[in-house]
Structures are given as C-alpha cells and as structure tokens.
Structure 1
Amino acid sequence: MTTPSGRRTRASIDAELELLEAQLQTLILRESDIQKVIDHAQRMKDALTLERLSTEKQKAELEAQKEPINWLPVELLIHIFSAYAVLGYSTDNPHPSVTVSHVCRKWRDIVLDAPDLWRRIVLRGFQRRAPFRVYLERSMDSPLDIDYTTMPRISTSEERYQVMKLAEICNPHFRRVESLSIQVKNAIAFLPFILIIKDHVKMLPRLRHLNVAISAQDPSFHDISSLLDADRIALTNDTVFIPSSSNLRRLKIEKIPLFNFPASLIANLVSLEIVYSPRSTTNHYFVKMSSLCRFLTLTPRLEELVLANTVPYFDVYPSSEAPDVSARENKEEMQPVNLLHLKSIDWTFPFCGDIHRLLSLINAPGLERLDLWVNDPPRRLDIDYVRGYTYTSSSYSLRNTVTYPSLRDLSVQYAGEEASSLSLRNFSFPALEKLAFTNIDTAARRPGGYMPSLPVFPRLESIFRDPRLPNLTHLTLSHFEIWTEVGRVEAMLGYMPLLTSLSLDACPGTCKLLNALQEQVVPATNRVQSARRGAVRGVKLCPRLEALSFWGCQDVDFATLLAVVYSRNRSASGFAEETTHKDESATPNGATQAIVTRGLRDENNGGASHRTEPAQMGRKIKPLRKLRRDPPELPGAPSAENVAAATRSMATVMIHAARRPAQIIYLRMTDCKLISEEEAIQFKSLGVVDVIWSGSDQ
C-alpha cells in the first residue's frame, strides 16, 4: 500500500521485511549445511594429504635405502661432512659446508644442526660480509678457524679498510678462535691484528695455530715503523723465557719482524716455521742470526723448526769457535741456544757455508730428523754482504764437530758438486738409520730417456767426517750416476752392513751396484765337515737387504736383477747348488779364508752360474786417523770406548748374518724399460712377496 503522496506505508515495508528475514534464515541454514559438508570434505582432504605425505616419506626412505651412503648413521655423516669441510676447499668450492647443505633435505637438516661444520671460515678478500656473518651465526659456540687472504689486486687503503672491518666483526668472536691465518699484501694492513695478538690473553685465549704473512715481494715498513721498533728494543734487552699458559702450539711467520709476538704467546710453541728472504740490496727487513737465536730462546719446548727459504745474516759466532780477526769484526760471541726438545729441522736453500754456522748455534741433542735443500751460491754474489762471512773465514778444518747422537733420518738435496762435498763434513751422526741424497740441479737433468750428464755420486769419505754408517737401514739416491771404478760401490755398501732398503731414482750405472749386491761368500771348512753337511752360501755385502726400488733406471735389466734376488732367496726357490770348498787357512789378520761367488745369468737354460774368487771375511777395520785437535763433543755423544765395543759386536753379528742373508721380499720397478711386466712377475716364484711394476709415465 501507498500513501496519497506515492510512498509505501510502514505496514507494507514490515511485511516485506518479514519475507526477506525468512528467506535470509533459509539461506543461512543452507549455507551452514553446505559449510558442514565442505568442512567434512576438507577434513577428508587433509587426512588424505597426511596419508599421502606419509606414504611419500616411506617411499623416499625405501628409495634412499638403495644408496649405501644412506646406510650410515647421522653421527658418522657428521664426521664425514666435517672432514669434507676441511679438505674439500678449493677456489671453485670456497664454501664446502654450503655445498653439502644443497645436496638434499636430509643433509641440509644435518648440516644446519651441526655447528662444528661451520667453524672453518675461508675468506678471499672481505667485500661480501653477509656469508661471513652467516658462518658466525651457524657456528654458535663452536671453536673457529679463520683463514683470510687479501685479493691480489687491491689498493692499500681498501685493504686497510677491509682488514679493519674483519677485525671489527670478529671482535665478539675472537675468544672462540683456535686457528687464525692472516695474509695481507701491505705491512700496514696487518696493524689491527698486531694489536689483537699482543692482547692475546684476553682476545685469543684458545688460539692454537697462528699463520701471519705479508705477500709483497719486498714489504716496506715506512708507514708502520713500530713493527721494526719491536725488534730493535728486543735486541737491546736480554731475552728471558717466561712460563706461560698460552695454548699456541704452531706458528708460521712470513716477512713480519720476529719480536712483534709477545714472549708469553710463544712460550709453549711446538712447531715454528719462518719465511724470510735472504738479505739483498732492496731489503727493508732481514733476519739476523742474533735475532733468530734470541727468538728461539723464548721457545724451549720447540719440537719442529722449518726455515723456508730463510738464511739469516750471520752477525754472531759460537763461543766454542775463535774466528780470525777479519771475521770477528762487527760480530759478537754467542752461546748456542738450548732446544732440548727439538726433533726435526727442515731448511731450504742455504749455501753449504751456512749450514754449520747456523746449526752450531743450536744445541739440539734430541734431534731425530734433518732435511736440507742445499744450493750453490751464484758466481756474482757478495757473500759477505748477504751472509756476513766470506769463504776464506773460518776454514772447515778448524770448526768444531757438531754431533747429533739421536738423529735417525737425514735427507739432503744438492744443487751442485761443491755442496755435496762440504755441507756435512763437520757433523757426526752415529745413530743414522735413514739417508737420502737427491740431485736437484735442473741443468744436469735431461727430460726423457737416459741422462748421461748427471754428476757422479761422491764418495762417502768426502761427504761425512766418518763414512761408517753401522746403523743405516734405508738408503735413497736420486739423479746421481753410480761409479764405474773398481771397488767404489763395494766400499760404499761395506759401510752400511744393516741396510734393509735401497731405492734408486734415475741413477745411471745401477747395474754396477747390483753386481756388487749379488756377490756371494762360501766360508771354507775342512773336508770332513764338507762331506757331512753342505756349506752355507752367504752374501758379501748388505746381508739384511729386503727391499729394492728402482725409478727410471734405464740400465737395470732382468738378468742382473734376477741374479741379485736369486743369490739371496735360494731357500725360497728350493734350489740346491754344488759348491767348491778349500781348506781353511789363516790370514795375517786372523780372518777366515772364504770363497766369493758372483751370480751370473745363463742365457741358454735360464739358470744361474757362478764364478768364484777368494775373499776375506771378518776383515779387521782399521780406525780412521785422529785429528790433531780433538773437537769437543756435545752431551749425549757416544764415547770412543762405546763405539769400539759396538764395532766389535757388529762385526760378530754381521759374520753370522752374511752366511744366512735375509730374503728380498719387496721389489718395485717403475719406468725400467729393460724389464717387462711378464719378467717382473717371475720374481714372485723366488719368494718376493710384493712385486710392483709400472711402465713409463710418458
């Protein structure tokens, strides 16, 4: 209904509202019913989804069980990932932990839950700081190993800024650092870390390994003279060892002045490596022997010393020697540094005149290993300027002998003939067991094939003060020519009766040495004893030899090597031989007359024939002539009486060992063109347990 004005009445509006309300209630009820259906369907869908995910997980687990890597427990995987995080680093893979986390979801979960996998942080420059912060966050409270290297092309100001930012971000985490390696290009960039190292008690309490280096060829210290001032102050004061609780065990220093490291930091060092170029006309800093000795005085627990291309300027001389007046100028007398725990010395590129001068200032009676890379000085070189001495000062014959009573392993690389004959003349190694000589002169090496230009290996009498090596068990010669003179090889091998392993690398004339090793000895007995039992056939030289190794020995042939093995492994091959005997006769020195036989290859029947010659067994060894002035011996050196008693005992033992030699059980042939693989296999039938053959690498 409407009013006269055309408007609807209230009653009509209320009636229509009632209809709409009823319709709305109906729609709400229908919507509620439909929502209930939808909720039920959603619950069914969610249940199906969960069931599907569970089934997919079971399927994935079954599929994963096909791969052996997934058989390993999580704890073992963490150990594997930890090793990969350390060993898997390369320029193409600078973040191995991230690489592992991207393999699969399971590995990612394992890596993210293992803070130790994020402890090693390798930085090449510091432009991108976000990854560094991620490592710090994920490592939580684990110890840190930080390795920073400046990019090669960077300005000095930019390098300083990056190193300062690195130190700033690391500041809250330095207490967790166990290993720190910082390599900068310019010396001034290292200043922030010098301040941190000097405050090591507070900032670096857990530090165990420290590697600091300046990569510039000739770093300048003009802008940071405080680094040089620390050295000057240390040289004017007496250096005294101060006990400390420092955890630092390994330190490597390259081109940074020595005394910028607190004495309390280095007090417990076990390993020290220093890298300083020898003095030159352009050096801003070079190491003096007086500085090195004072620095070593602060490291009494040192066990390993590495001098990498480092030769100090000799401004001191040992108190036990009296140099001439010209050599004494501008030099001071110094007592040797006592390093009673030192076991190993590695030294590269000294001249032969440097070796005795340095080692005579280090008292290390417990030294067990010495590795020297000796170089010949250039012809046009002012030795007095770069080394502090001349060849005319302090002749070798006037120097005291340095004895290392505990040295077991000696390795020497030579780059010239002079070095081989002068480097070790004033040293004594009474307990030497392993000896290696290597010729590193590249001019003498001819790539590929035979090398006739190699130098002849010197006589032991010209190398050592005492050529007798009664305890030597391992000998290695590399890139030397073996003598062809009669008796030279026999004389050398006669000095080492306990030799068990012989290795030759690219040594022409090896056959001459093998001929000496196959010489056999048949001790003479009376005719009655010869008839009752067969004579025992022995070898003349090195009766305890068990291992032979050859690399690139082009003149080693199958027949010669077979004769050596056959002469020592007869009992294994089951071969019975007839021997010729002579009546026993006395010799002027009381030794027993014997018969020496040389094993020869019979080309017709593949066997071995022998020729006999008389030889002396048990020959008395005459002592070497004593020097006019007996040099003082270091504590722990064997006395003359002990040496004589040991020599007599050794002679008795070796007489019995020569009659029953050890068998060759190891044989290695690499790039020996005269021996084929088929021939090498035949040695196994003679009792050789390990036979290794490989052809040329070319």
Structure 2
Amino acid sequence: MSSEPPSGAPNDLSQFTERERNLLTVIEREKHELEGRKARLQQELEEVETSIIKTQRRYGEIYNARSPTDTLPNEILTAIFRESQQISRLSGVVDNPIAEVTISHVCSHWRRLAMLAPSLWNVFRYDGAVAPQIPLDRLHAYLERSQTHTLDIYLSFTGSGEGWSDQLDMLDTIAPHFSRCRTLQVLSDNDTHIDDFLHKLECAQLPLLEYLSICPDRWHEPPDEYIVSDWNANVLLNGAAPSLKYLRLDSTSLCDFRPPLSSITHLRLEERRRGGMTKFSSNVLDDVFTLPSLETLSIWGDLFFQTGTEYTGASLVEAKRLKHARLEGRKGIVTQYFLSHVMAPALETLTLALVRLDIPLILRDIDLFPSLHTLSLLRGAYGFGPDTLVNFLPFMNITHHIKRFILASPLVQFLAEAMAPPPGSDLHVQAKQIWTKVEEVVINVDSRALELSYKPLIVAFPNMKTLRMNEECRLNIAGDPAWAELQARMKFDIIEFSEGDVLIPCYWPPGPDWMDTEEDPYVFMSTLTIGP
C-alpha cells in the first residue's frame, strides 16, 4: 500500500479524526525535515569529495615535486611526451586511450605542459570501421590545442556503413584549416560520399601540404570506358600545393581528381574495391616513369589500357631517381612494359605482383637496374607454356644483381625446376648461374608447394646466408635429413605475421608505418600463404 496521500485530494483530511489529522501533520513535517537533512548531507558529501580531490592534488604536487620526472626541465619532459606518443603508434595499432589523452590526465603539472605543447595535438586519426563513436568534439579540441602547428589528419570512413552524417561534419570542420595541413588522408567507400569535400579541396590553398591520400572508392557511371592519353592535371593548380611530394589515389578518384605530378616524389595509383572507368594509355605510363622527382612508385589494378603491341614500338625511357617500384595490372602487361622499356639506374627494390611468361622481354645491351638488390614476387605468373623458361631467362638476367629474394607466389615450383638443371639442359644450367649473388631468401607459400621444391631451390643459391619461411613450411620439411645440414650453413628465421612482420619493402612516408598502410594491396598479398 502506498504511503502517499490519495492523488485526487492530497490535502483533504476531513474524513480523519482530529487526532489523526494532528498525527499526519507531524509525520509530514518530519518527512520534510528528513528530506532537508538529506539534501544538506548530499551537498556536504559533494563538498567533501571536492576537498578530497583538492587535497590529493596538493599532496601529489608536493610529493611529485621530488619524483625524477617532475624535476626534469619542462622542455625535456615535453620531449618525452612526444616520444611516448610516437612509440604508441609504431605497433601499427592506435592505443585506446590515446597516448596524449592519457598524458594529460596524469596530474595537473603534466596536463599544463600537455596543453602548452601544440605538437602533441597536431596528429588526428579516425577509423570509422572500429571507432565506437564519431569524435567530433575531440577533433575540435585537437584543432584548438594544436594552435598554429602543422596538421596531420588521417580519416578512414571505409566500412563504417550508412547514416553517419557526422563524418561529413568532420570534413567540414577540417576545411577551414587546409592552410595548416601537412598530411591529409581521406579513405572512404560508396556509403560515405566525400564529393563536397573534394570540391572544397580542388581550389583550396594548401601551402604546407606534403602528403595527400584521396581514395573515395565510389563508383562512377560514365557512358563508356574512356582512354586518356595524358595526365591532364585538373585540381590544385597555379601553385595551390607547392610542397606536395606524396600522392595516393585510387581508381575512382582518378576519374576526376588529378593534381600536378611534377614535384611528386612518392606516387601510389592503386585500385581498391571498385574499378574506375578511366584508363590511361602507355603514353601516361612513360610520363609517370620519367617524372623528374619520382623515387617510389606503386601501381595496382586495371588502370592502364594496353594491348601488348606497345612492346615493339616503344623506345627506352629513363627513370632517373626511381628507387622503389611495385607493379601489377592487366594480366602482367604493366610489369612486362616496365621491364622492357625502363632504365632505372637508382632502382633498389622491385616488387611484382604478376609476371608475364608468354611474352619475351625486349633484350637490351645495357644494364637496366644496376642498383637493384631486392626482388619480391607475389601472387603468380600469367602465360605458362612450352617457352616459359626461355622467356623467363631474360627476366632473371635483368635482375641478376639481387641479394635479397622474396617469394610469395606459386612460382616456387617453377623456379625450383628451372634452377635444378637435368643432364644436358643448357637452359637450366644458365638459370642456375644467374642469381648467384642472393644472400637472403624469404619464402611464404603453402607447405605443399614447397615440399618437393625447397632443396633444389635452396641449393640454387650457393651464397645464401639467411632463409626465412612461415611456420607451416618449417614444420613440413624439418623431418628431412638434409634439413640439419642446411641449418648448419645458414641463419634460419620464422616469419611472424602475428607481430606485424611485413615481408616486402615498405618505403611509403610519412612517419610510422601505421599512418598510411591501410588496405595496402601489396602488404596484404605478401602476408597471405600462397597455395600451390
């Protein structure tokens, strides 16, 4: 039964006797007094808790004044904060809570220093696929705390789904700060359209911008596939981004977002989930290979229109500063075109995702890649046939300087056969005598592909000092009596993908690897265990 008066007539006491009315009045007065006492106690509790916090803060200030960290000069302690922040990113996973946020909550002294250090707040990262909420307030705080410091912005809306309109508010929030951006990465998909943001970016002034990744991965529907015979820069013109040196585009941004390339040092043109309708001719390939400042180049996907007839008519071009190249596309024709028509005297590493074996390379009398030391072969090959080895020998000769060989491809069986010459086979003898400078071999294939191939493949590298392979392969061949002998003459390592082990060379700035390796097709392909 409720102890409250009837809701219809809370003050109607006419039905009670005078004694009952007096008693109800006393009880009601007592209840009000208790409620007042409760309110005073709650207020006193809040005051006590506040006093405890203040007392703890005063205690901490005195006690921490003797701690080694707080006796450090503010400049050194701030530098330690920055180093802690960088270390938290090196693992490839952003810490939660974020390092700079944790630092600012340790004590009042640390918080004051953190708030006065713009460099702690100039890097903002958001991954919508795993983020529990859209941190719009945090973005505002970072933009304010970073003051006039240069900004590094990394936003990924990929996989976050529909209905996240606040994500577009993040882009609108960044737009007024374009002039401070040093790094700007925006990855998206067909659920989050960034067209309005791109329109703002096209004509903006970005004097400090060095690193730009624009990958909307949004399907465009032009009437037909169309071929472009030159780059036709159409955005960020008239010196709008004079410092730009790193550019990453996907096949859909290529449709209508093409900045000038003359100052680009690092270029990535990589298809993601959706293929664009724009295709570039071999003329554009030549223009890309011969960019005056280009040092690293990555091409993935069906971006270039080629029929194979370009091999006979194209002349040799020189990529003077190119140091690292990763190539894939259109049944290996892009790879074949590069190997036949590009001289790269500074090239150090070459990663190929698809090798063409049915079209012979154009042989040259000059050493095309005299500085090449690392070769990575991923996925497989196109066009196996009776002339496979005949066509593959020129490829081996072109890359004969290599000292490090990375193999994540079913080619392991073919190479084992090619480099284990049967009696009277001149071609196999030639193959065995080419890659003699190799000192390190890295193999990531299915154990069935390696089971019958590892001995002839390993013996084919007489100067090999280090062998790396996945755990499955090691377990499969460890019982072979010849394995102990092989271990005795070389260093052996296991590939640890669980610890972020990346097989192929990664030379993509800026900063720690986690900043721009999202959805990297080459890293993804090299970490798969390739079947036979």
| TM category, shorter | 0.5 to 0.7
1:228-247 to structure 2, matched below 5 A, reads 234=230, 246-247=242-243
Q: Per-residue deviation at 1:276?
A: 2.0
After superposition, the C-alpha distances for 1:127-173 in whole angstroms (9 at most, x for unaligned) are 653322211111001110112233645559x75x853x445433332
Match for residue 492 of structure 1?
460
Match for residue 138 of structure 1?
145
1:404-423 to structure 2, matched below 5 A, reads 404-415=369-380, 421=389
The answer to whether residue 267 in structure 2 is matched with residue 272 in structure 1 is: yes
Match for residue 114 of structure 2?
111
Match for residue 204 of structure 1?
206
Asked whether the equivalents of residues 300 and 338 of structure 1 are also in contact (C-alpha less than 8 Å), the reply is no
Asked whether the equivalents of residues 346 and 372 of structure 1 are also in contact (C-alpha less than 8 Å), the reply is yes
Aligned residues: 418
Q: Which has the higher contact order (CA 8 A, sep 6+)?
A: 2
After superposition, the C-alpha distances for 1:536-592 in whole angstroms (9 at most, x for unaligned) are xxxxxxxxxxxxxx7753234499529x85xxxxxxxxxxxxxxxxxxxxxxxxxxx
Asked whether the equivalents of residues 264 and 293 of structure 2 are also in contact (C-alpha less than 8 Å), the reply is yes
Q: Give the distance between the partners of 2:459 and 2:294, measured in 1 at CA.
A: 39
**RMSD value, Cα:** 5.0
2:405 to 436, 446, 455: 436
The answer to whether residue 459 in structure 2 is matched with residue 459 in structure 1 is: no
After superposition, the C-alpha distances for 1:356-398 in whole angstroms (9 at most, x for unaligned) are 134434342322211123379xxxxxxxxxxxxxx9xxx6347
Match for residue 561 of structure 1?
485
1:678-697 to structure 2, matched below 5 A, reads none
Match for residue 254 of structure 1?
250
Asked whether the equivalents of residues 176 and 206 of structure 1 are also in contact (C-alpha less than 8 Å), the reply is yes
Q: Per-residue deviation at 1:182?
A: 1.1
The answer to whether residue 199 in structure 2 is matched with residue 195 in structure 1 is: yes
Q: Per-residue deviation at 1:54?
A: 7.0
- Give the 3-state SS of the residue equivalent to 2:153 in structure 1: strand
TM, length-normalised to structure 1: 0.49
Q: Give the distance between the partners of 1:267 and 1:289, measured in 2 at CA.
A: 19
Check 1:95–1:260 CA distance in 2 against 1; reply closer, same or farther (3 A cut): farther
Q: Give the distance between the partners of 2:87 and 2:399, measured in 1 at CA.
A: 44
- Give the 3-state SS of the residue equivalent to 1:100 in structure 2: helix
Check 1:286–1:441 CA distance in 2 against 1; reply closer, same or farther (3 A cut): farther
Match for residue 214 of structure 1?
216
Q: Give the distance between the partners of 1:311 and 1:144, measured in 2 at CA.
A: 31
1:128-207 to structure 2, matched below 5 A, reads 129-150=136-157, 152=159, 154-155=161-162, 162-163=167-168, 165-186=169-190, 189-199=193-203, 203-207=205-209
Match for residue 467 of structure 2?
503
Check 1:465–1:118 CA distance in 2 against 1; reply closer, same or farther (3 A cut): same
- Give the 3-state SS of the residue equivalent to 2:249 in structure 1: strand
Q: Per-residue deviation at 1:270?
A: 1.4
Equivalent AA in structure 2 for residue 301 of structure 1: S
Check 1:69–1:358 CA distance in 2 against 1; reply closer, same or farther (3 A cut): same
- Give the 3-state SS of the residue equivalent to 1:360 in structure 2: helix
Q: Give the distance between the partners of 1:299 and 1:557, measured in 2 at CA.
A: 53
Equivalent AA in structure 2 for residue 554 of structure 1: A
Q: Give the distance between the partners of 1:118 and 1:92, measured in 2 at CA.
A: 15
Asked whether the equivalents of residues 246 and 264 of structure 2 are also in contact (C-alpha less than 8 Å), the reply is yes
Q: Give the distance between the partners of 1:473 and 1:364, measured in 2 at CA.
A: 23
Check 1:473–1:410 CA distance in 2 against 1; reply closer, same or farther (3 A cut): same
Equivalent AA in structure 2 for residue 141 of structure 1: T
- Give the 3-state SS of the residue equivalent to 1:555 in structure 2: coil
Q: Give the distance between the partners of 2:135 and 2:58, measured in 1 at CA.
A: 41
Match for residue 29 of structure 1?
none
Q: Give the distance between the partners of 2:69 and 2:272, measured in 1 at CA.
A: 57
Asked whether the equivalents of residues 339 and 364 of structure 1 are also in contact (C-alpha less than 8 Å), the reply is yes
Asked whether the equivalents of residues 328 and 354 of structure 2 are also in contact (C-alpha less than 8 Å), the reply is yes
Asked whether the equivalents of residues 301 and 339 of structure 1 are also in contact (C-alpha less than 8 Å), the reply is no
Check 1:400–1:250 CA distance in 2 against 1; reply closer, same or farther (3 A cut): same
Equivalent AA in structure 2 for residue 433 of structure 1: I
Check 1:68–1:272 CA distance in 2 against 1; reply closer, same or farther (3 A cut): farther
Match for residue 34 of structure 1?
none
Q: Per-residue deviation at 1:215?
A: 3.5
Equivalent AA in structure 2 for residue 396 of structure 1: I
Asked whether the equivalents of residues 267 and 298 of structure 2 are also in contact (C-alpha less than 8 Å), the reply is yes
Asked whether the equivalents of residues 349 and 375 of structure 1 are also in contact (C-alpha less than 8 Å), the reply is no
Q: Per-residue deviation at 1:198?
A: 3.4
Q: Give the distance between the partners of 1:97 and 1:254, measured in 2 at CA.
A: 32
Check 1:425–1:194 CA distance in 2 against 1; reply closer, same or farther (3 A cut): farther
Q: Give the distance between the partners of 2:185 and 2:197, measured in 1 at CA.
A: 11
Check 1:90–1:299 CA distance in 2 against 1; reply closer, same or farther (3 A cut): same
2:359 to 378, 381, 396: 396
The answer to whether residue 333 in structure 2 is matched with residue 370 in structure 1 is: no
After superposition, the C-alpha distances for 1:313-362 in whole angstroms (9 at most, x for unaligned) are 315744xx43xxxxxxxxxx555553211111123576455521344343
Equivalent AA in structure 1 for residue 189 of structure 2: K
- Give the 3-state SS of the residue equivalent to 1:215 in structure 2: coil
- Give the 3-state SS of the residue equivalent to 2:194 in structure 1: helix
Q: Give the distance between the partners of 2:475 and 2:468, measured in 1 at CA.
A: 6
Check 1:353–1:293 CA distance in 2 against 1; reply closer, same or farther (3 A cut): closer
Check 1:424–1:94 CA distance in 2 against 1; reply closer, same or farther (3 A cut): farther
Check 1:503–1:215 CA distance in 2 against 1; reply closer, same or farther (3 A cut): same
Q: Give the distance between the partners of 2:354 and 2:57, measured in 1 at CA.
A: 69
TM, length-normalised to structure 2: 0.62
The answer to whether residue 439 in structure 2 is matched with residue 473 in structure 1 is: yes
1:570-649 to structure 2, matched below 5 A, reads none
Check 1:236–1:436 CA distance in 2 against 1; reply closer, same or farther (3 A cut): closer
Check 1:108–1:81 CA distance in 2 against 1; reply closer, same or farther (3 A cut): farther
Asked whether the equivalents of residues 407 and 429 of structure 1 are also in contact (C-alpha less than 8 Å), the reply is no
Asked whether the equivalents of residues 187 and 214 of structure 1 are also in contact (C-alpha less than 8 Å), the reply is no
After superposition, the C-alpha distances for 1:194-222 in whole angstroms (9 at most, x for unaligned) are 3344335xx21101111111235xx1245
Q: Per-residue deviation at 1:478?
A: 5.0
Match for residue 74 of structure 1?
77
> Percent identity of the aligned residues?
16
Check 1:491–1:71 CA distance in 2 against 1; reply closer, same or farther (3 A cut): same
Check 1:186–1:294 CA distance in 2 against 1; reply closer, same or farther (3 A cut): farther
The answer to whether residue 125 in structure 2 is matched with residue 122 in structure 1 is: yes
Q: Give the distance between the partners of 2:57 and 2:96, measured in 1 at CA.
A: 35
Q: Per-residue deviation at 1:107?
A: 2.7
When structure 1 is superposed on structure 2, of 303-312 and 80-89 the one drifting more is 80-89
Equivalent AA in structure 1 for residue 142 of structure 2: Y
The answer to whether residue 336 in structure 2 is matched with residue 356 in structure 1 is: yes
Q: Per-residue deviation at 1:455?
A: 6.9
Rg bigger for which structure? 1
Equivalent AA in structure 2 for residue 116 of structure 1: S
